[in-house]
């Protein structure tokens, strides 16, 4: 898939940013990456809300091979081939993928910690000169 094809494919969805990534492209909207266009196909971000839709279409999650094993990435699922001919329905799936990516980003956000008040210390640190003088006396 080339950039022009992807731009046409997402025309009903709205403006997307397409950047080189791995052996293909990362596709994002509003600063959120929601799709991967790779040699093996087009993969959309999915979560527990949208995965049943992909399963109903017979789609599979993204997989790649390492020397030792096959790695399955359950957060990206292959787009059903029939959607390449229907940009309107593809845009609905893209909106759902963007929403899944946004939900995932919210889950990853670091939780704010309450700042603990420092307890007053009872032991005062010795001034540096005095500590250096004691060290010098010990060496004699």
Boundaries of every domain in the chain: 3-108
Residue % of the chain over a pLDDT of 90: 63
Reported pTM: 0.74
Top pLDDT among 27 and 129 is at 27
Average pLDDT, integer, range 117-139: 60
3-108 to CATH, choices 3.30.1460.30, 3.40.50.300, 1.20.1090.10, 3.40.50.1110: 3.30.1460.30
Owner of token pair 């010098």: 136
**pLDDT on residue 23:** 84
Residue 117 pLDDT exceeds 80: no
Q: Which long-range contacts (CB under 8 A, 24 or more apart) does 56-63 make?
A: 57/82, 62/36, 62/38
**pLDDT on residue 132:** 61
Residue 129 pLDDT exceeds 90: no
Pair of tokens at residue 59: 């789609």
């Amino acid at each position: 898939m080339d950039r022009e094809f992807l731009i046409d494919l997402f025309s009903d969805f709205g403006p997307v940013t397409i950047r080189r990534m791995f052996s293909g492209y990362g596709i994002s909207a509003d600063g959120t990456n929601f799709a991967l266009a790779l040699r093996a196909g087009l993969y959309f971000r999915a979560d527990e809300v949208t995965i049943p839709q992909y399963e109903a279409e017979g789609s599979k999650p993204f997989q790649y091979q390492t020397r030792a094993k096959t790695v399955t990435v359950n957060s990206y699922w292959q787009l059903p081939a029939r959607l390449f001919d229907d940009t309107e329905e593809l845009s609905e799936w893209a909106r759902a993928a963007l929403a899944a990516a946004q939900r995932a980003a919210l889950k990853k956000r670091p939780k704010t910690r309450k700042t603990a008040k420092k307890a007053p210390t009872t032991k005062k640190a010795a001034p540096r000169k005095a500590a250096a003088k004691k060290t010098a006396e010990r060496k004699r």
